[in-house]
């Protein structure tokens, strides 16, 4: 707990709409408490903009405790800012020093069109999940929960994958705008469980193919892992790659069969 | 089961539709007696689901599976952002896997008792019954619940229960359950059975001839006001905890959808019931935008105290043992730091109000682990609470292994909501409310790990049955077309409201008014309420509201994304709700669960119920902007769970 | 307006999906499949590079032994298959792998360009005008698309130099690899080209090897740490092995004067000379 406030200079990307020309604008953020979160700092900047009768900066956030995945922001060239394993809402201003210059940009990728200022559309990520990110079980048809034991390591690994909050930082951090980390987490969450086996190969093909409709290709830089607020492992990407080529083998048609 | 036991009677406007019979077989029998829609007719019905959290996503998916045409709406960019995602602890179910004597009846009993006898027995029993199906459903969907080494599901215990019935997925149970419901929803979207509308905020319910016709939404990307018609509308829009400004709710959580339905005829029940969670991280300054909850389990090892002296500015470590007041241990020797949520919260407030609060803003109490660390070693404490300690350190910048944590209560769940009958239908025929948005299952206080259970019970296993009973009667009727005058009028009203805010051109931000409103509500309708304060609150809210309406400054335009414009409409609804909340708290002259009236307490300072006069649900009817709401009462009957007074001495 | 209004709810794909080809051609149709092909071909090429480097170590045994090694390669398959046929089969395989490796690299890069470069590319504003801070991406991973073309150019140079004998700085003699190698690498600019190219090759192999495991999905907590070590080890061994040739030539350890058949001038003369040398040694 510090009583000293800090002064910062912000370079904020402003863009009025998806097809408008964007630009950086400079704001002085004075008297910021180190205990404020990054988004609270932006709230304060916005309040002052409103006081000055100016249009506040549009940015998105919701839960502000690092679980909903709504917040984004490229802070000084790093998705969710400099701290590892944190989303922007969990980043606190004590990470910065008095006099710092901070560049704030939206997450960028062709499939993340800017809506306004720092808000982008991440709808393509939903499209990937809709393609197969589920286990087809109709309500009411489930067997007793303890009918199928799941080895603890498998359940734990599935949970590691399922921790993904779908924020899109992996895409934003990737020089190729690839969504491999997100997609692999969403696939493996199911592929690792016994319940996910019947649709495993179909799911993998459908979700990877949909991913490739929108995002780039993985060159194994590992930037996504560094940016991921949930520290989803790169190993899931390897699992996905393996399952995908296996799926091509398993899903091949019999001779004379139509797909 | 209409009550006539005491002097008060249920208002004729409130037909709970609870069938006669024994609670244990009620739901089973009722499922048979409800009307059905045959499979080939289901596709003729359109149902709108607003909100895609646990309740909304599960309801939309399940109804689509049944064959209804479903249109789902969320104001988020994706269904998976709903605030259900932030629930940490777990979900209760009467599976009795640990073989410790749990049963449907016990879960039912605990929930009614935990709700301080202000919930409807029949609803709670049904909730307990379907709880077991929820776990089956979620496991089949691939929710990675914690398991033991044999590969079977693990359980833990939670406050208010003496059995282990809580299923959990690390500290992210809400996230995992939501992702499960979201995946079921995705499947239906992929199959074309659900039409998903992202980033559209519902701003009105439209009725025609007294029945539901559809909704009016505003497209948050383009500002376009649109109508959507349907045979039935389901509101799964969550609670109103953000009325306090600072709460553990998400920034965008609001009461707007429920409130607009209220203005169109849905009664609003028990708005004074709010759950205040004792272990949250106190606000660090005025800039604070929300509060963060920390698991209650911390109270198992931490000792809560404040200095005995007023305005003590010393560091915790400099305060000698005899100048510390372990106030919970002092007042409640038997339960000590483990008293229920409301008791712990209220006592923390008392010492802070006395001026013995700690921290730079004097707004917290210490939760001290020094003794636990000395006793069990740092490693043990770290293994138990490591992630919570890290979270605390990240937010406050203090090391809780070295300095005691500072905690303070914060709002985190609202038990009140739209009044619904046994079918979960509001007083508008064809409009339903499920999940936290309704009032039905938790009474005046919710037990831990029960919110997730209720949301999913409503969505997966209750609404999809009960809605058929209403729709069966509509067979052959088309939807009201969106060019009908009722829609056009509602659209015009919404558009008008929206542009009105832009034209006020005042001097203060919407955020400013929300913060000020929150201060009043927290101060006067928070943990302890009294007549005087509630009356003052009504005046204060009214005067702040009139300043708000004339002096708010909303920048930007209404034809592109404008988060300020979204916010201002929601705050306006909070103002109206705040007035009702104050009134509801004022007329409920008893203490129960999350509602503590200073005038009604035992000698030991415990909540004292008045079952003679207040064993009812208060449901408020909207009478227009300038007329006060009318109160209706639904009397509650307790046949299976005998009324008793709580005591934690 | 520099770009069309994007659909913010229903995003536009960056590429069009084609009708699936029959297995296994459909593997090529996806980028993940192409990366898999890149990894498989990379593994083959890596094997070649390693074998080539080890084979070339014969140069330290002497000119005659190097000649014998070259002959042995042509004689692969013994007397079952006509001379040089198996070598050609291997060469064609190598060419195919090279082709696929490059095609996969080029096309996947192209997809990524479309996925990222157009990101709100408005009136010449570049992607992340504020700059991107790399944390994990190594120098090697970020330069794959530069080291790749360098290796390709070097390969052409290397073939022209020591296989086709097209370059003026040596009087290329077919059948006398020691002569060709030692005279070529005695030329300082040529030696520098070899050194630079082999550094690029090693850098490429370093990221390529680790990346290969990921692309193939060879992943197991038991050996995951070993993947980086293996990548570094392989790249190191190949780098050191290959760099000895130009460096030791420059310092005179590999010296054209050590070649008893130096100055043969023609393939026939060289062959005759080496046969004589071999007979001399056997006697």
pLDDT in tens, B195-208: 999 999 999 999 99
CA geometry: angle B330, B332, B334, nearest 5 deg: 115
Q: Which of B341, B346, B524, B588 is catalytic?
A: B341
Task: Provide the pLDDT confidence category of residue B248 given band limits of 50, 70 and 90.
Answer: very high
Domains of chain C with bracketed CATH? 30-117+138-277 (1.20.1300.10)
Q: Say whether pLDDT at A259 is over 90.
A: no
* Partners of residue C209 in chain A, C-beta under 8 Å: none
**Whole-angstrom Cα distance, residue A130 to residue A207?**
8
**Whole-angstrom Cα distance, residue B401 to residue C137?**
36
Question: How many angstroms away from the CA of C10 is the closest CA of chain B?
Answer: 10
CA B605 to chain centroid: 26
Q: Please give the pLDDT value at position A257.
A: 66
Q: Please give the pLDDT value at position A2.
A: 46
Query: Is A3 in Cβ contact with B287 (below 8 Å)?
Result: no
Question: How big is the B-C interface in CB pairs under 8 Å?
Answer: 5
Question: How many angstroms away from the CA of C115 is the closest CA of chain A?
Answer: 5
Q: Which helix (H) or strand (E) holds B275?
A: strand B274-280
DSSP assignments along B173-235, one per residue = HHHHHHHHHHHHHHHHHHTTSEEEE-SEEEEEEEEETTEEEEEEEEETTT--EEEEE-SEEEE
Listed range (A208-217, B285-294, B575-584) with the worst mean pLDDT: B285-294
Interface residue C281 vs chain A (CB under 8 A): no
- How buried is B240 (Cβ within 10 angstroms: 0-12 exposed, 13-18 middle, 19+ buried)? buried
Largest CA distance in chain C: 85
Residue B149 inside a domain? The answer is no
What CATH number should be reported for the domain holding residue B357? 3.90.700.10
Last residue of a domain, one of B359, B384, B411: B411
For residue B432, give the nearest of B424, B441, B422, B440 by alpha carbon. Answer: B424
Strand-strand pairing, B268-269 and B616-621: antiparallel
Task: State phi, psi for B217 to the nearest 5 degrees.
Answer: -125, 160
Task: Provide the pLDDT confidence category of residue C123 given band limits of 50, 70 and 90.
Answer: low
Query: Is C33 in Cβ contact with A177 (below 8 Å)?
Result: no
Assigned token pair, C131? 């700059």
Assigned token pair, C220? 């197991």
**Whole-angstrom Cα distance, residue B266 to residue B433?**
10
Q: Do B418 and B259 meet the contact criterion of CB atoms below 8 Å apart?
A: no
Higher pLDDT, B471 or C120: B471
Question: How many angstroms away from the CA of A140 is the closest CA of chain C?
Answer: 32
Interface residue A25 vs chain C (CB under 8 A): no
Q: Do B516 and B547 meet the contact criterion of CB atoms below 8 Å apart?
A: no
DSSP assignments along B393-453, one per residue = HHHHS--TTTS-EEEEEEEEEE--EE---TTSB-SSTTEEE-GGGB-SSSTTS--TT-HHH
Interface residue A215 vs chain C (CB under 8 A): yes
* Partners of residue C9 in chain B, C-beta under 8 Å: 198-199, 221
Q: Which residues of C touch chain B, with CB atoms under 8 Å apart?
A: 8-9
Q: Say whether pLDDT at B53 is over 90.
A: yes
Q: Which residue of A has its CA nearest to B508?
A: A51
CB atoms within 10 A of CB C66: 25
Question: How big is the A-B interface in CB pairs under 8 Å?
Answer: 228
Q: Same CATH topology for A6-115 and A123-250?
A: no
Residues 373-412 of B with CB under 8 A from A: 394-398
Among candidates A67, A94, A139 on the partner chain, residue whose Cβ is nearest the Cβ of B172: A67
Q: Please give the pLDDT value at position C120.
A: 60
Query: Is C26 in Cβ contact with A248 (below 8 Å)?
Result: yes
Query: Is A149 in Cβ contact with B152 (below 8 Å)?
Result: yes
A123-250: CATH topology: Fumarate Reductase Iron-sulfur Protein; Chain B, domain 2 (1.10.1060)
**Whole-angstrom Cα distance, residue C28 to residue C100?**
10
Assigned token pair, B202? 């519902």
CB atoms within 10 A of CB C223: 12
Q: Say whether pLDDT at B369 is over 90.
A: yes
Q: List the subunits that have 3+ CB pairs under 8 angstroms with A.
A: B, C
**Whole-angstrom Cα distance, residue B66 to residue B465?**
10
Helix axes B563-587, B531-551, angle to 10 degrees: 160
Expressed in percent and rounded to 5, the helix, strand and coil fractions of chain A are 35, 15, 50
**Whole-angstrom Cα distance, residue C109 to residue A219?**
9
Interface residue A243 vs chain C (CB under 8 A): yes
Whether residues B293 and B404 fall in one domain:
yes
Which of A23, A76, A78, A245 has the highest number of chain C CBs within 10 A, making it the mutation to test binding with C? Answer: A245
* Partners of residue A149 in chain B, C-beta under 8 Å: 147, 150-152
For residue C163, give the nearest of C177, C153, C151 by alpha carbon. Answer: C177
**Whole-angstrom Cα distance, residue A246 to residue A240?**
10
What percentage of chain A carries pLDDT values higher than 70? 96
* Partners of residue B65 in chain A, C-beta under 8 Å: 138-139
Residue B560 inside a domain? The answer is yes
Task: State phi, psi for B286 to the nearest 5 degrees.
Answer: -65, -25
Interface residue B41 vs chain C (CB under 8 A): no
Dihedral angle over CA of C122, C128, C130, C134, nearest 10: -170
For residue A70, give the nearest of A51, A83, A87 by alpha carbon. Answer: A87
pLDDT in tens, A220-234: 999 999 999 999 999
Task: Provide the pLDDT confidence category of residue B4 given band limits of 50, 70 and 90.
Answer: very low
**Whole-angstrom Cα distance, residue A244 to residue B439?**
47
* Partners of residue C11 in chain B, C-beta under 8 Å: none
**Whole-angstrom Cα distance, residue B267 to residue B261?**
8
Q: Please give the pLDDT value at position B367.
A: 95
Query: Is A243 in Cβ contact with C8 (below 8 Å)?
Result: no
Q: Please give the pLDDT value at position A3.
A: 60
Interface residue C266 vs chain A (CB under 8 A): no
* Partners of residue A126 in chain C, C-beta under 8 Å: none
Q: Please give the pLDDT value at position C1.
A: 36
Which of C6, C8, C11 has the highest number of chain B CBs within 10 A, making it the mutation to test binding with B? Answer: C8
CA geometry: angle C225, C228, C233, nearest 5 deg: 125
Report the mean per-residue pLDDT for chain B.
Answer: 94
Residue A197's Cβ-side half-sphere holds a number of Cα atoms within 13 Å equal to 6
Q: Which residue of A has its CA nearest to B84?
A: A68
* Partners of residue B139 in chain A, C-beta under 8 Å: 142, 145, 148, 195
Whether residues B384 and B492 fall in one domain:
no
CA dist list (Å): B420 to B98, B263, B426 = 35, 15, 4
Report the mean per-residue pLDDT for chain A.
Answer: 93
> Which residues lie across from A78 on neighbouring strands?
A75
* Partners of residue A152 in chain B, C-beta under 8 Å: 147-149, 151
Q: Please give the pLDDT value at position B217.
A: 98
Among candidates A110, A174, A248 on the partner chain, residue whose Cβ is nearest the Cβ of C14: A110
Contacts of residue C76, Cβ cutoff 8 Å, sequence gap at least 6:
C86, C87, C90
* Partners of residue C31 in chain A, C-beta under 8 Å: 212, 217-218
Q: Which residue of A has its CA nearest to C213?
A: A238
A6-115: CATH topology: Ubiquitin-like (UB roll) (3.10.20)
Q: Do B258 and B220 meet the contact criterion of CB atoms below 8 Å apart?
A: no
Interface residue A253 vs chain C (CB under 8 A): yes
Assigned token pair, A63? 């839960």
Q: Do B54 and B237 meet the contact criterion of CB atoms below 8 Å apart?
A: no
Which of B258-271 are b and which e, b meaning 16 or more Cβ less than 10 Å from the residue's Cβ? bbbbbbbbbbbbbb
Residues 189-208 of B with CB under 8 A from A: 189-190, 198
Active site residue B341: yes
Interface residue A176 vs chain C (CB under 8 A): yes
Q: Which residue of A has its CA nearest to B553?
A: A50
Task: State phi, psi for B413 to the nearest 5 degrees.
Answer: -155, 150
**Whole-angstrom Cα distance, residue B167 to residue B183?**
20
Task: Provide the pLDDT confidence category of residue B604 given band limits of 50, 70 and 90.
Answer: confident
Q: Say whether pLDDT at C125 is over 80.
A: no
Interface residue C211 vs chain A (CB under 8 A): yes
What percentage of chain B carries pLDDT values higher than 90? 85
Query: Is A86 in Cβ contact with B251 (below 8 Å)?
Result: no
Residue A173's Cβ-side half-sphere holds a number of Cα atoms within 13 Å equal to 31
Q: Please give the pLDDT value at position A256.
A: 64
Task: Provide the pLDDT confidence category of residue A258 given band limits of 50, 70 and 90.
Answer: low
Interface residue B221 vs chain C (CB under 8 A): yes
Last residue of a domain, one of B411, B444, B470: B411
Q: Which residue of B has its CA nearest to C8?
A: B221
Q: Which helix (H) or strand (E) holds C178?
A: helix C177-186
pLDDT in tens, B491-543: 999 999 999 999 999 999 999 999 999 999 999 999 999 999 999 999 999 99
Domain that holds residue B494: 485-622
**Whole-angstrom Cα distance, residue B255 to residue B263?**
12
Residue B629 inside a domain? The answer is no
CA dist list (Å): A193 to A135, B66, B190, B488, C192 = 10, 26, 22, 50, 55
- CA-only gyration radius of chain B, Å: 24
**Whole-angstrom Cα distance, residue B219 to residue B200?**
5
Listed range (A49-58, B574-583, C33-42, C136-145) with the worst mean pLDDT: C136-145
Among candidates A18, A127, A218 on the partner chain, residue whose Cβ is nearest the Cβ of C8: A18
* Partners of residue B221 in chain C, C-beta under 8 Å: 8-9
Q: Is the dihedral of CA B190, B192, B193, B194 positive or negative?
A: positive
Question: How many angstroms away from the CA of C8 is the closest CA of chain B?
Answer: 8
pLDDT in tens, B423-478: 999 999 999 999 999 998 999 999 888 999 999 999 999 999 999 999 999 999 99
CB atoms within 10 A of CB B472: 15
- The DSSP code for C1 is -
Q: Do C281 and C64 meet the contact criterion of CB atoms below 8 Å apart?
A: yes
Q: Please give the pLDDT value at position B603.
A: 82
For residue B57, give the nearest of B40, B78, B39 by alpha carbon. Answer: B78
């Amino acid at each position: 707990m510090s009583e000293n406030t800090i002064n910062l200079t912000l370079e904020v990307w402003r863009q009025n709409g998806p097809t408008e020309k964007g630009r950086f604008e400079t704001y002085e953020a004075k008297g910021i408490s180190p205990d404020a979160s990054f988004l609270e700092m932006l709230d304060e900047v916005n309040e002052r903009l409103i006081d000055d009768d100016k249009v506040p900066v549009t940015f998105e956030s919701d839960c502000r405790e690092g679980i909903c995945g709504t917040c984004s922001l490229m802070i000084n060239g790093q998705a969710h800012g400099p701290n590892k394993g944190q989303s922007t809402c969990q980043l606190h201003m004590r990470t910065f020093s008095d006099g710092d210059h901070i560049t704030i940009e939206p997450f960028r990728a062709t499939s993340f069109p800017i809506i306004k200022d720092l808000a982008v559309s991440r709808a393509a990520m939903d499209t990937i999940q809709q393609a197969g990110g589920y286990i087809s079980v109709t309500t009411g048809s489930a067997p007793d929960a303890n009918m199928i034991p799941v080895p603890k390591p498998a359940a734990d690994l599935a949970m590691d994958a399922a921790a993904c909050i779908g924020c899109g930082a992996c895409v934003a951090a990737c020089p190729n705008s690839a969504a491999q980390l997100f997609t692999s987490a969403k696939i493996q969450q199911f592929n690792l469980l016994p319940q996910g086996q019947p649709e495993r190969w179909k799911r993998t093909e459908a979700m990877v193919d949909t991913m490739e409709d929108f995002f780039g290709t993985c060159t194994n830089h590992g930037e996504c892992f560094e940016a991921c607020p949930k520290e989803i492992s790169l190993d899931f990407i390897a699992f996905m790659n393996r399952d995908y080529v296996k799926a091509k083998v398993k899903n091949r048609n019999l001779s004379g069969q139509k797909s | 089961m209409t009550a006539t036991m005491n002097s008060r009677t249920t208002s004729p406007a409130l037909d709970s539709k609870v069938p006669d019979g024994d609670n244990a077989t009620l739901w089973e029998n009722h499922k048979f007696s409800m009307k059905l829609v045959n499979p080939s007719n289901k596709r003729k019905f359109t149902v709108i689901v607003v909100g895609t959290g646990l309740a909304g996503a599960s309801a939309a998916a399940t109804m689509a599976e049944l064959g209804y045409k479903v249109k789902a709406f969320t104001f988020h960019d994706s269904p998976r952002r709903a605030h259900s995602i932030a629930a940490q602890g777990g979900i209760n179910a009467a599976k009795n896997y640990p073989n410790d004597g749990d049963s449907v009846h016990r879960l039912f009993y605990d929930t009614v008792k935990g709700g301080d006898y202000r919930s409807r027995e029949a609803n709670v029993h049904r909730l307990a019954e379907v709880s077991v199906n929820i776990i089956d459903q979620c496991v089949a969907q691939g929710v990675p619940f914690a398991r033991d080494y044999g590969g079977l599901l693990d359980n833990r215990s939670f406050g208010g229960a003496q059995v282990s019935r809580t299923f959990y997925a690390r500290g992210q149970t809400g996230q995992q359950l939501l992702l499960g419901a979201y995946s079921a929803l995705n499947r239906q979207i992929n199959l074309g059975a659900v039409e998903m509308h992202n980033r559209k905020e519902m701003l009105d319910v439209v009725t025609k001839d007294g029945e539901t016709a559809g909704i009016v939404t505003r497209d948050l990307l383009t500002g376009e006001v649109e109508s959507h018609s349907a045979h039935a509308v389901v509101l799964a829009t969550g609670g109103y905890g953000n009325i306090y400004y600072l709460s553990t709710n998400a920034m965008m959580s609001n009461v707007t959808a429920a409130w607009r339905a209220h203005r169109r005829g849905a009664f609003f029940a028990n708005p004074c019931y709010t759950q205040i969670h004792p272990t949250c991280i106190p606000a660090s300054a005025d800039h604070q935008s929300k509060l963060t909850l920390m698991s209650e389990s911390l109270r198992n090892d931490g000792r809560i105290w404040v200095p005995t002296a007023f305005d003590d500015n010393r560091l915790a470590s400099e305060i000698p043992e005899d100048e510390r007041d372990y106030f919970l241990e002092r007042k409640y020797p038997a339960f000590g730091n483990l008293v229920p949520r409301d008791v712990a919260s209220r006592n923390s407030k008392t010492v802070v109000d006395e001026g013995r609060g700690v921290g730079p803003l004097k707004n917290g109490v210490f939760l001290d682990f020094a003794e636990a660390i000395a006793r069990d070693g740092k490693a043990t404490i770290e293994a138990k609470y490591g992630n919570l300690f890290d979270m605390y350190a990240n937010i406050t910048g203090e090391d809780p292994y070295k300095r005691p944590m500072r905690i303070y209560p914060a709002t985190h769940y609202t038990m009140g909501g739209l009044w619904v009958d046994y079918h979960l239908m509001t007083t508008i025929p064809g409009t339903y409310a499920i999940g936290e948005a309704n009032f039905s299952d938790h009474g005046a206080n919710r037990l831990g790990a029960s919110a997730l259970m209720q949301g999913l019970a409503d969505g997966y296993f209750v609404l999809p049955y009960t809605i058929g009973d209403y729709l069966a009667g509509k067979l052959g009727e088309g939807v009201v077309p969106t060019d009908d005058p009722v829609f056009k009028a509602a659209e015009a009203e919404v558009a008008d409201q929206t542009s009105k805010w832009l034209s006020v051109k005042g001097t203060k931000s919407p955020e400013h008014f929300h913060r000020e409103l929150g201060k009043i509500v927290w101060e006067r309708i928070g943990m302890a309420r009294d007549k005087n304060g509630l009356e003052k609150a009504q005046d204060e809210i009214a005067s702040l509201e009139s300043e708000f309406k004339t002096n708010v400054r909303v920048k930007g335009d209404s034809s592109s994304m404008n988060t300020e414009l979204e916010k201002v409409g929601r705050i306006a609804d909070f103002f109206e709700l705040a007035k009702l909340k104050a009134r509801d708290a004022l007329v409920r002259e008893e203490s129960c669960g999350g509602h503590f009236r200073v005038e009604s307490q035992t000698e030991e300072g415990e909540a004292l119920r008045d079952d003679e006069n207040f064993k009812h649900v208060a449901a408020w009817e909207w009478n227009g902007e300038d007329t006060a709401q009318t109160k209706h009462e639904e009397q509650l009957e307790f046949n299976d769970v005998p009324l008793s007074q709580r005591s934690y001495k | 307006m520099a770009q069309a209004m994007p659909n913010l709810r229903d995003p536009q794909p960056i590429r069009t999906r084609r009708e699936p080809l029959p297995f296994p051609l459909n593997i090529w149709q996806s980028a993940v499949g192409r990366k898999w092909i890149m990894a498989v071909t990379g593994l083959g090429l890596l094997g070649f590079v390693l074998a080539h480097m080890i084979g070339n170590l014969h140069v330290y045994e002497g000119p005659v032994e190097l000649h014998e090694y070259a002959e042995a390669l042509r004689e692969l398959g013994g007397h079952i298959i006509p001379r040089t046929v198996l070598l050609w089969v291997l060469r064609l395989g190598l060419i195919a792998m090279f082709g696929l490796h490059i095609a996969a690299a080029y096309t996947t890069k192209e997809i990524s360009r479309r996925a990222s470069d157009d990101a709100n590319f408005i009136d010449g504003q570049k992607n992340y005008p504020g700059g991107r801070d790399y944390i994990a991406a190594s120098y090697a991973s970020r330069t794959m698309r530069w080291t790749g073309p360098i290796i390709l150019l070097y390969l052409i140079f290397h073939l022209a130099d020591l296989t086709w004998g097209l370059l003026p700085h040596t009087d290329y003699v077919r059948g006398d690899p020691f002569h060709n190698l030692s005279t070529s690498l005695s030329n300082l600019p040529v030696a520098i080209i070899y050194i630079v190219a082999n550094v690029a090759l090693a850098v490429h192999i370093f990221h390529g090897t680790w990346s290969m495991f990921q692309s193939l999905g060879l992943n197991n907590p038991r050996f995951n740490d070993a993947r980086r070590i293996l990548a570094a080890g392989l790249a190191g061994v190949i780098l050191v092995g290959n760099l000895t040739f130009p460096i030791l030539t420059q310092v005179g350890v590999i010296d054209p004067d050590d070649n008893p058949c130096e100055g043969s001038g023609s393939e026939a003369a060289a062959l005759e000379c080496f046969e004589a040398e071999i007979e001399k040694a056997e006697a």
